[in-house]
Amino acid sequence: MTPKQDQTGNTGFLQYLRYEKHYSEHTVQAYLTDLGQFQQFLALQYAIEDSTAVKGQHIRSWVASLMGEGIEPVSIRRKISTLKTFFRYLLREGKIQRSPLQQVSLPKIGERLPSVLPEKAMYNLLEQMKWDDTYEGWRNRLLLDLLYQTGIRQGELLSLKVSDIDLYQHRIKVLGKGGKERLVPFGKQLATNIQKYLSLRQQQFAGACADTLFITDKGKPFYAVLLNRLVKSHLSLVSTQEKRSPHVLRHSFATHLSENGADLNAIKELLGHSSLAATQIYTHHSVERLKQIYQQAHPKAGMQEHEG
């Protein structure tokens, strides 16, 4: 980060994201990456190195260039969301009088259903697959099991501490977005698996990373790149779909709850969503599934016109 970038608020913005918004390090780095790309575009195309000089036309030009590169609208909207937060911060600090985002329209995106694994696939992975009876085998299974059975985010999983697990009341204390805590329940079988993992962990790494729940084979805290690699390789064993990430397990958790009749407000609380709007997509997925069942099963579903 150069001094010129610092004087436009990047350093203060970094502190704001970490210590006021309480965003995870993963989210903070994503924001800084998006902001860095925008500032690089400004420097190359307009020789602008002071973010306080940005106007709506500069942002619209960047959006056009991103679309020209074939960047998905949903990704562009995420980048614009980063800029909204950044310029909101500059407004608060008195560095600008008006956000240039007021003059920018976001590209429209069609509503896309989240990628979800079938219940059968998850059953085959977690219950039918043979796992090594070793520390690594139990840890890897538990990582996948927790993501699917609790729906917690990748960053929330990696920040879990041993002290966050309540094996008696079968619940986990999760620190979510914005530093908000929530309690997520889990079942008896998962509690048994957690106990087994903790026992093996103690035997193999006594005293290492004392309160960090998941640690690597070398006794270091588990990290995002390794988790994504683990999830992708194991989901490949039960699914051929393109998306195979920790977030797919979160989507699967919520969708399977919805399909089995769970209340939408309950799903919202379990996921840690701030509003129902973000949770609605899982009911849409259920409706699509019901449509498919109807088309396959109802004798009149395939008829093009009513016979009189």
Return the structure tokens found at 28.
């903070």
Q: Which of 21, 170, 173, 273 is catalytic?
A: 273
Rounded Cα gap, residues 298 and 281, in angstroms: 25
Closest-CA residue to 231 (of 244, 213, 216): 244
Q: Which of 26, 60, 170, 177 is catalytic?
A: 177
Q: Which of 153, 234, 251, 285 is catalytic?
A: 153
CB 42 within 8 A of CB 48: yes
Catalytic residue list contains 153: yes
Place of tokens 């088309």: 295
Catalytic residue list contains 23: no
Q: Which of 31, 148, 197, 282 is catalytic?
A: 282
Rounded Cα gap, residues 61 and 42, in angstroms: 10
Catalytic residue list contains 250: yes
Closest-CA residue to 146 (of 130, 131, 133, 158): 158
Sheet-wide strand order for 165-166: 165-166, 171-175, 181-185
Catalytic residue list contains 247: yes
φ/ψ (deg, to 5) at 297 = -105, -30
Kindly tell me the sign of the dihedral angle through the C-alpha atoms of 77, 157, 191, 241.
Answer: positive
Q: Which of 58, 250, 256, 268 is catalytic?
A: 250
Those residues with Cβ within 8 angstroms of residue 228's Cβ, 6 or more apart along the chain or in another chain: 154, 245, 246
Q: Annotated active-site positions, please?
A: 153, 177, 247, 250, 273, 282
